[in-house]
Amino acid sequence: MSDVLELVDVSVVRDGRALVDQVSWSVAEGERWVILGPNGAGKTTLLNIASSYLFPTSGTVQVLGEKLGSVDVFDLRPRIGMAGVAMADKLPRRQTVLETVLTAAYGMTAHWRESYDTSDEERALFILDRLGMAELAQRRFGTLSEGERKRTLIARAIMIDPELLLLDEPAAGLDLGGREDLVRRLGRLARDPIAPSMIMVTHHVEEIAPGFTHVLMISQGKVVAAGPLETELTSRNLSHCFGLPLVVEQRGDRWTAQGLPLS
Ligand SMILES: Nc1ncnc2c1ncn2[C@@H]1O[C@H](COP(=O)(O)OP(=O)(O)OP(=O)(O)O)[C@@H](O)[C@H]1O
């Protein structure tokens, strides 16, 4: 298996502070990674590096076999799907859900073409259907609920048929039903052998969908643990990562975590 992402001794320094501190990490083709860590740990910074929008201060980064700094990022970016709140803010609110997904295929955020290829439209509708959004295809993006917006962003990221799919807190702000619905859908995607390699940032182990294989735990820019979920998602590592005693349990193919009571 070849690596879709390889970071060697990567640091990102701003105002004299290391937001990411000598991180070495690799993601092999087909793996599905979760990045866990407290607020401000550097999770989004890592995703921004993986999406080629942020260059490290030091260290080397290879994305999809291309070295950042030696590759034209405009050739690389169409191969990477990214769903996160930063993208949501750039999308026109008056555009329909279908147009919002379709424009991704043309590397744009806004609809300007008179018509799109029928095959693109069919593909967009198919992806929206897989995410439970087919009935809302003609709704304006700006009128969607948080959960519907999140699913539209994921559909948009998948539309380009990426080799690497990056999801930044896809379940943040969702209610219990919305979260569970999204976890089921992400689980179906993660278990699909032809789906791209995936990296998902989350704050909660409950949001880890079945089919995810690996975890990177990060705290204050440093790697606390990295490897298969079965061996690395332990109470010890999670407690170290979040700085308080936590107990993590696996029930079936899902995870839960809770703090120990104060004595
Ligand atoms: N351009 C910047 N200049 C200075 N500091 C920055 C910059 N961008 C991010 N930071 C800081 O870097 C740290 C890591 O930010 P990052 O967004 O990667 O954390 P995160 O783990 O994704 O956090 P959260 O869980 O709260 O979203 C934070 O302390 C943030 O304030």
Instruction: CATH number of the domain at 28, please.
Output: 3.40.50.300
pLDDT at position 1 is 58
pLDDT at position 164 is 96
What total number of domains does the chain contain? 1
Largest Cα separation within the chain, whole Å, is 66
Binding site membership of 37 for ligand 1 (Cβ less than 6 Å): yes
pLDDT in tens, 51-90: 999 999 999 999 999 999 998 988 898 899 999 877 777 8
Ligand 1 centroid – CA 40 distance (Å)? 5
pLDDT at position 106 is 67
Question: Tokens 């279908």 — which residue?
Answer: 98
Question: Tokens 């609809």 — which residue?
Answer: 111
Q: Whose CA is nearest to atom 16 of ligand 1?
A: 42
As a whole number of angstroms, the distance between CA 176 and CA 111 comes to: 33
Q: How many CA atoms lie within 13 A of 121 on its CB side?
A: 10
pLDDT at position 262 is 82
Closest alpha carbon to 63 in 164, 145, 157: 164
Binding site membership of 15 for ligand 1 (Cβ less than 6 Å): yes
Ligand 1 centroid – CA 260 distance (Å)? 28
* Cβ 63 vs Cβ 4: under 8 Å: yes
The ipTM (two decimal places) reads 0.95
Structural domain including 26 reads 3-259
Q: pTM for this structure?
A: 0.92
Inter-axis angle of helices 118-130 and 97-105, nearest 10: 120
Ligand 1 centroid – CA 239 distance (Å)? 21
Where the chain has pLDDT below 50, the residues are none
Ligand 1 centroid – CA 1 distance (Å)? 32
